[in-house]
Amino acid sequence: MSIPSSQFPTWLINWLKTESIRLWGAADLRDFATPPDEKGQPFPRALSWAIPMDPHIMATIQNGPNQAYADEYARVNNRINDVSQRLSAEIKSRGFRSQPLGASERTDPLHIKGDFPQKTAATRAGLGWIGRHCQLITREFGPWVRLGTVFTDMELPCATPIEQSHCGKCGRCVAACPADALKGALWYPGIPREKLLDVHVCDKWKKEHYFQYHHGHNCGICAAVCPHGLKCVQNNRSTQLNAQSETGR
């Protein structure tokens, strides 16, 4: 979160803290077409947050998804939907408009997309940038996260959007993609998705090879090999070793 938490409403800070949401922020979406409310009105802002996946599970799918990853994917998505529904209800109870965005929800199967890109809200909220694998990369958790979004008209201190990729020359995700669906382009705001990813090739590969995992909605190889994600495992091991060292004194 690039905005000091003290600038947000105290109730919101405490609410998210109680939910153990560590990475979150507000996005200015006035220049974007958001899903409308029940009266057909768009939303000017959104709260965006990231829930990390288990890094030890993510590290096991560099050669393909497994059941543990599929279960973790479902668990985190269910948690996002639960948090989104309750947060939206809380915002409404305080007199503002609000609407949650479903996790991993495809409403346009032809173009393989949902009502609004969660990643757009996240980059606008300052949570991270989009990698060559077409997924959000955060400093703390790499791409090993799932995203939540709640639209609102509540006044919020919106973050400075992240508009620069920090992938450098790294192309590990592109080389690892078994479908050859990643194009290798460096992200910038507004880049067409097809310049980063052939979504139809990706979708076809997953359905043909990993259908047993949520009917082909799971792969995760490109995220699993990302150096920004692998740091999570390294940092976790260092923390465990330091804790063991402290205990042994």
pLDDT tens digits, 22-31:
999 999 999 9
**pTM assigned to the model:** 0.91
pLDDT tens digits, 57-86:
999 999 999 999 999 999 999 999 999 999
Domain ranges, residue 19: 5-248
The mean pLDDT of the chain is: 92
Question: How far apart (Å, rounded) are the C-alpha atoms in residues 81 and 102?
Answer: 6
Q: Could you give the number of structural domains in the chain?
A: 1
Question: How far apart (Å, rounded) are the C-alpha atoms in residues 152 and 44?
Answer: 7
- pLDDT of amino acid 61: 97
pLDDT band at 239 (very low <50, low <70, confident <90, very high): very low
Question: How far apart (Å, rounded) are the C-alpha atoms in residues 76 and 51?
Answer: 7
pLDDT tens digits, 119-170:
999 999 999 999 999 999 999 999 999 999 999 999 999 999 999 999 999 9
